[in-house]
Chains A and B, each alone.
Chain A
Amino acid sequence: MSTTSMTGCERVNRMFARQDQDRIPRQDTFWPETITRWQREGLQWDHHDALRLLEADFAGLCWSWPPVFPGQRELLREDAETETVRDAWGGIVRTWKGRSGTPEHVGFGCDSRAIWEKTYRPAMLAAPNQVDVQMAAVRYADARKLGQWTHLSGVEGFEALRKILGDETCLMAMVDDPEWIRDVVAVHTEVVLRSWQSVLDQGVKPDGLWIYGDMAFNHATMCSPAMYRELVWPFHKQMADWAHERGMKVIYHTDGRVSGVLDLYIQAGFDCLQPIEAKAGMDIRQFAPTHGDRLAMIGNIDVMKMATNDLGLIEEEIRTKFAAGMATRGYAYHSDHSVPPQVSWDTYKAIIGMVERYGYY
């Protein structure tokens, strides 16, 4: 399809170094329902084929989200459309059967410091490693043959707080009992780092970390920058330091409007931000000039525009945002969220064509 002179790994490393590349790196994610639609419309197999057509440059090796009670999944009730389960983090969540979507948080088992200290903390520290290190090694070998940039993936402490304590308890505890919050984030961070180290102990040498959190919504970060700095940022820095000591770069995923904490992310040691959600008011045309020299950026191509299937609108989005990102040499293509099922396969193939057309240096 295209003529390139670099491997994906070389390309992404040069992106981080702000050195010239042949083209911008590429990656994307898709809702499962999107793939189902595309399969009806001509996509041959699954999301891997969509990524192959895109010529994606990144390869994830493992996913680390340490459960408190591994294996726990108790079905509490169900109806025709949904099921309510007590999950491996002790929470009660209601999810769709057979389709994706954000769950409803019915309840959380850990709603006090006493329960955390008595039950959850020791359980989390004692739980066996859930990362499949053998599979990570296989994926690493495959990705190296393909020349892709490899990364460990997993969840950071803010997301863990929300998962274990629930939004209301964890956000109020940030005011009432900040030491409890710090302890939860610290324990989670320790367990995740241990799990990632277990992959490295197999002889795998990933190029980076792709750390997942969700600490903001359309309005702003959920907590103030000062509260983030005090309670969560030290552990973001711990993860980044761990990565850098091992020669790895760090990509941080968060939805929402995080403009108020970009400098803190840079100070923590994050090398890159993704997906840069457009509908939350994040715009690479604004932030690449101000922060792009220190923070690489992946994403910001608006899925709401993609969902119109208006190719003229989408092309303008790609053209102008690519120009801003590429000016820093530190930009990669990604949708600003996950590609939704309103986007047709024909539209996405056209998007790949636009990424090809506008993404070369």
Chain B
Amino acid sequence: MPLLTDLTAAVAAGKRTDTVRLTQELLAAGTGPQAIVEQGLVPGMAIVGDQFKRNEIFVPEMLVAARAMKEALKLLEPMLASAGIKPKYTAIIGTVQGDLHDIGKNLISMMWRGANFAVIDLGTNVPPEKYLAAAQEHKAHLVGLSALLTTTMPAMKETVRALKAAGLPNTRIMIGGAPITQAFATDIGADGYAADAGTAVDVAKQLVASLA
């Protein structure tokens, strides 16, 4: 019988064929889908995140690992849905108004899904009211704002202001992007800041852990 640690290793190595096969074998052996996600797949992506932070792997390796997990999830999601099992935390992500840059947001989105967040991607050029509406509709635990351009940083500030003004006690806001710094995050009242895709998972987990 395969071990969950075998699955973790396959995900971390980006071996999608092995990941799918091991997932099928674990299911056949009676391992529940939730355990496969939480004890097999997610730990694999956690390894990927740590390796990325240390520059032991780079974006290509991160992408193929995320792809491997995604293929396993295709098998598991129908079972999870029918059992009413869903990720504990929901995150909204988007690129702020005035900015069409999507690459950074897409990487973060992948890593959050790898950490078993449900992620709603609002796309690019997202106005503050759309973030707010989505956060309220989905009861989001986390809202992630991305910006590439210095000229769109004011839009990030306005979005944070709008979300804070709406009074969402169970929603945390984190920001990131090329021109963004911790100092800017503090200045505009964001709850968290992440410099890269690896730390974006750590910060996300810390922020949701602080929720009631």
Contacts and interface: CB of A to CB of B under 8 A. Distances in A.
Interface of A: 33, 81-82, 94-96, 101-105, 167-168, 171-172, 174-176, 217-224, 227, 260, 279-280, 303-304, 307, 340-342
Given A94-B124, A104-B123, 18 more contacts: A96-B100, A101-B98, A101-B101, A102-B100, A102-B148, A104-B100, A104-B125, A167-B59, A171-B60, A175-B60, A175-B61, A175-B64, A176-B64, A218-B195, A219-B197, A220-B58, A224-B61, A342-B150
Contacts of B149: 101-102, 340
A303 B153 CA distance: 14
A334 to B, nearest CB: 17
Contacts of B150: 303-304, 307, 340, 342
A314 to B, nearest CB: 15
B14 interface: yes
29 contacts: A94-B100, A95-B100, A101-B99, A101-B101, A102-B100, A102-B149, A104-B101, A104-B102, A105-B102, A167-B103, A168-B106, A171-B59, A171-B60, A172-B60, A174-B60, A175-B63, A217-B104, A217-B178, A218-B178, A220-B58, A222-B58, A224-B60, A227-B58, A227-B60, A279-B178, A279-B179, A304-B179, A307-B150, A340-B151
B57 interface: yes
Interface in B106-134: 106, 123-125
Contacts of A33: 151
A174 B61 CA distance: 9
Contact of B196 (A94, A218, A341): A218
Contacts of A171: 59-60, 63
Interface of B: 14, 55, 57-61, 63-64, 67, 98-104, 106, 123-125, 148-151, 178-179, 181, 195-198
> Which secondary structure characterizes the binding site on chain B?
loop
B196 A219 contact: yes
A171 B110 CA distance: 14
A220 B101 CA distance: 18
Nearest to A103: B100
A112 to B, nearest CB: 15
Nearest to B99: A101
A40 B197 CA distance: 40
A105 B67 CA distance: 19
B100 A82 contact: yes
A172 B55 contact: no
B19 to A, nearest CB: 14
B63 A172 contact: yes
Nearest to B198: A219
Contacts of B196: 218-219
